[in-house]
């Protein structure tokens, strides 16, 4: 298993058609032989290389994502797809523990070499459904807890690992909220679905014009997720269009 820090070249930020596709759209494309999961992962990686240096939404690439996607394609050939999520790329905010040798740093540069020995329950369950973890997204360091003790010193979406995440519409736009990397990544078509944590849902979703879904906190497991407050933090799901929430 391997990882790569997301460093990219800059260009303009046009939204490709891929950005408007829903998970059901992608599954239909798989079923009709239009594309395969591996090709989808490569396309998203190209999109990240195209625009990420301008917005700093993605902090880690999972270099094993393509091989994981290949396995999904083989399952589909054998007619053994696990679920509607099989082969679908997703990203997580850099507070979810992963076993893909991607550091789970909470945005702290001192944890760059910290590789977890176990995985967040929600990631494990998504893997069981065949979803492909393609990387981790930027955030306000320590889920913004760093800024609680030094208010006004760092902007929303800043971490010592990923630098400052930017909004998608104008230069130097405030992405609003500590989960800004996930919102910006989905909005710009860097990934179809991303996970993050609440309380940082409504503001980044509004700023990036994406749909944010906050389940009841007791419905989803927070095991393996860095939480400032276990009584207040809940997991959240972001995507481009509400139709994906069904």
In a domain, 9, yes or no: no
Question: Whole-number mean pLDDT of the chain?
Answer: 85
The pLDDT assigned to 227 comes to: 77
Distance, CA of 243 to CA of 65 (rounded, Å): 26
End-to-end C-alpha distance for the chain, whole angstroms: 33
In a domain, 161, yes or no: yes
pLDDT tens figures, 99-139: 997 899 999 999 999 889 999 999 999 999 999 999 999 99
Distance, CA of 230 to CA of 177 (rounded, Å): 18
In a domain, 195, yes or no: yes
CB contact at 8 A, 200 and 185:
no
Distance, CA of 51 to CA of 216 (rounded, Å): 34
In a domain, 221, yes or no: yes
In which band, very low, low, confident or very high, does the pLDDT at 230 lie, cut at 50, 70 and 90?
low
pLDDT tens figures, 195-221: 998 767 788 988 988 888 888 777 888
Domain count, the chain: 1
Q: φ, ψ for residue 61 (rounded to 5)?
A: -95, 140
In a domain, 149, yes or no: yes
In a domain, 127, yes or no: yes
In a domain, 112, yes or no: yes
The CATH number assigned to the domain holding 164 equals 3.90.1300.10
Which tokens sit at 222? 């927070």
Residue span of the structural domain in which 163 resides: 17-245
- Whether pLDDT at 73 is above 50: yes
In a domain, 73, yes or no: yes
């Amino acid at each position: 298993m391997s990882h790569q820090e997301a460093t990219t070249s800059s260009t303009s930020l046009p939204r490709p058609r891929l950005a408007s596709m829903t998970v059901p759209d992608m599954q239909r494309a798989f079923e009709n032989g239009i594309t395969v999961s591996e090709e989808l992962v490569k396309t998203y990686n190209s999109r990240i290389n195209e625009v990420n240096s301008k917005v700093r939404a993605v902090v880690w690439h999972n270099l094993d994502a393509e091989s994981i996607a290949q396995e999904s394609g083989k399952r589909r050939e054998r007619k053994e797809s696990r679920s509607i999520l099989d082969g679908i790329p997703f990203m997580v905010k850099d507070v979810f523990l992963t076993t893909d040798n991607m550091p789970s740093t909470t945005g702290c540069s001192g944890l760059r070499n910290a590789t977890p020995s176990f995985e967040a329950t929600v990631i494990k369950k998504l893997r069981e459904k065949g979803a492909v973890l393609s990387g981790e997204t930027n955030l306000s360091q320590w889920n913004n807890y760093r800024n609680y003790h030094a208010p006004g010193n760092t902007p929303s979406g800043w971490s010592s690992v990923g630098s400052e995440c930017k909004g998608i519409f104008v230069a130097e736009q405030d992405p609003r909220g500590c989960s800004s990397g996930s919102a910006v990544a989905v909005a710009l078509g860097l990934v179809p679905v991303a996970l993050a944590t609440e309380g940082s849902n409504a503001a980044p979703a509004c700023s990036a014009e994406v749909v944010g879904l906050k389940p009841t906190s007791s419905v989803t497991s927070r095991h393996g997720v860095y939480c400032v407050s276990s009584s207040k933090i809940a997991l959240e799901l972001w995507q481009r269009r509400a139709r994906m929430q069904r």
